């Protein structure tokens, strides 16, 4: 491997559809970390909607396209702990009965990382050049936290953002209630969980909530907007890449 690794960006379906700026922020951060970034065209989704709905056949089909599209790179990086966790921990087991594909899935899993932890743990990044005027609180998205150990990494980099102060929620590690299709299959329970979360966010006095997964961010932003909360919602990569001027916070107009 050269000192300028080829990194494939796994954009994630939500970022593609909903908030491309996160993808561009990821590219900027990866380039700042000395990577050569490419975006394989033949990607759609990591397959979790099918996987978590029990549709293993569709999940396997999608997984094969992912493995084909992403095998030829030094690293695969996603601006999401959930999708990175899918590639890293779940995809190989879809092929327990298919040793050839399993070996390829294992190889892919070994080089797949969540964006922020990749920057710090693999590329040794300790600071960024960015500014954000405000007080933020950080939500630890479940998959990133518990499947990939993403906890200190975003806080380390956020500490170097000029003008930003970080304050913690009382329960930053408790699920926001998104859970993929859970949020629409069990809207009552999901609403209750996200309301507990927005209460915790509000109690910090922070003006911004940051996280590393767009699904959780859409859920929290959706509830905060409905509650007419003044709290802004952004993906942590937007702040770290100094791109908050490019696009309004999630769920807010220009």
Q: Which is nearer to another protein, 55 or 74 (CB)?
A: 55
Count of residues of this chain found to bind another protein when the rule CB under 8 A is applied: 71
CB of 235 to another protein, least distance (A): 12
Note whether 115 and 79 are within 8 A (CB): yes
Of positions 8, 201, 210, 250, contacts another protein by CB under 8 A: 250
* Nearest-approach distance from CB 53 to another protein, in angstroms: 6
Q: Which stretch binds another protein (CB under 8 A): 15-23, 107-115, 128-136, 160-168?
A: 15-23
230 binds another protein (CB under 8 A): no
> Which DSSP string do the residues of 94-154 spell out, in sequence order?
GGTT-HHHHHHHHHHHHTEEEHHHIIIIIT-------EEEEEEEE---HHHHHHH--SHHH
Q: Does 53 bind another protein (CB under 8 A)?
A: yes
Asked whether 202 and 223 are in contact (CB, 8 A), the reply is no
> Which phi-psi region, left, alpha or beta, contains residue 201 (left: φ > 0; alpha: ψ -120 to 50)?
alpha
Task: Give the closest residue to 100 by CA, choosing from 62, 67, 122, 70.
Answer: 67
Beta-carbon-side half-sphere exposure of residue 252 (alpha carbons within 13 Å): 19
Near another protein in 196-215, by CB under 8 A: 196
Contact by Cβ (8 Å): 118, 153: no
Binding flag, residue 186, another protein (CB under 8 A): yes
Q: Which residues in 107-166 contact another protein (CB under 8 A)?
A: 142-143, 146-147
Shortest CB 162 distance to another protein, Å: 26
Q: How far is Cα 208 from Cα 232, in angstroms, rounded to an integer?
A: 5
Query: Which region among 45-53, 112-120, 121-129, 130-138 touches another protein (by CB under 8 A)?
Result: 45-53
Return the range that interacts with another protein (CB under 8 A); candidates 104-112, 114-122, 123-131, 182-190: 182-190
Residue from the set 36, 56, 133, 203 that interacts with another protein by CB under 8 A? 56
């Amino acid at each position: 491997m050269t000192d300028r690794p080829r990194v494939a960006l796994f954009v994630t379906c939500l970022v593609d559809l909903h908030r491309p700026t996160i993808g561009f922020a990821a590219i900027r951060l990866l380039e700042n970390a000395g990577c050569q970034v490419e975006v394989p065209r033949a990607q759609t989704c990591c397959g979790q909607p099918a996987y978590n709905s029990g549709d293993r056949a569709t999940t396997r089909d999608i997984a094969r396209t992912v493995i084909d599209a992403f095998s030829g790179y030094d690293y695969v990086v996603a601006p999401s702990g959930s999708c990175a966790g899918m590639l890293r921990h779940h995809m190989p087991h879809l092929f327990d009965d298919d040793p050839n594909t399993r070996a390829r899935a294992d190889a892919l899993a070994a080089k797949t990382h969540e964006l922020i932890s990749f920057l710090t743990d693999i590329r040794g990044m300790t600071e960024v050049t960015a500014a954000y005027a405000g007080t933020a609180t950080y939500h630890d998205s479940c998959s990133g936290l518990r499947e990939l150990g993403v906890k200190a990494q975003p806080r380390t980099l956020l500490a170097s953002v000029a003008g930003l102060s970080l304050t913690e929620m009382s329960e930053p590690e408790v699920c926001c209630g998104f859970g993929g299709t859970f949020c629409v299959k069990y809207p009552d329970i999901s609403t209750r969980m996200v309301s507990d979360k927005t209460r915790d966010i509000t109690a910090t006095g922070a003006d911004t909530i940051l996280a590393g997964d767009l699904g959780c961010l859409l859920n929290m932003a959706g509830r905060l907007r409905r509650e007419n909360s003044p709290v802004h919602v952004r993906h942590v990569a937007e702040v770290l890449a100094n791109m908050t001027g490019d696009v309004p916070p999630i769920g807010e107009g220009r």
